[in-house]
Amino acid sequence: MKDNSDMKDKYALVTGAAKGIGKSSALHLAKMGINVAINYRSSEKEAEVLCKEIEALGVKSLIVKADVGDLNEVKNMAKAVLKDFPRIDILVNNAGIIDDTLIVRMKDENWKPVIDTNLNGTFYCTREFIRGMMTNRWGRIINIGSIVGSRGNPGQTNYSASKAGVIGFTKSLAKELAPRNITANVIEPGYIDTDTVAVLGEEFKEVIRSRIPMGELGKPDDLGPLVAFIASDNARYMTGQVICVDGGLAV
């Protein structure tokens, strides 16, 4: 297994990085010596704290505000990041939102923002940063999906559709970019103890736990080390894959 010492001249961008899975991903990349740009939409204070944590590890970091579902904001984010970083070698498309309701009650305003952020945002960010990877003939695109993208879930037709779209996008992307030494993979979390799950009532969380063979919710740090591994040269021959991290829920 390689020691990843050659990762010290790499540059990463993690979207939705201020909290949860994004934060863990950013920190684990930084621990490998990778310089990390932190995207956030509303959690500015958390992003600033994370930036300092990353810099304390001896690598460069910066924060950039953008709604990834807005094409103009993504373009401006790319300009800001590439002003300080020479390129982006590793892109972690993590930013995502939910807006749950049954299909008979779902309005356009429930559907469109979820698709814009989760699916269109993945496309916008990938398209903005992929050229640098192609020129350098090295890159990693790591898309954070969801178990509901493969299995579906009542009340989440919008979220499920967005995450299923990410899977198809990633598989096609992997085939397009493999000749350029660029990999593209999806990580599918199950129920992870983040702000999104925190709003659920304790009674409902107990129901969820009862369905998970391991009997507990996952933690962001169950995902961060996997992101770091996929970003490394130890995963150079893995592309187009959907890796499920759910405590056995999908078994």
Active site amino acids: 159
- Find out whether 243 and 144 touch, Cβ atoms under 8 Å: no
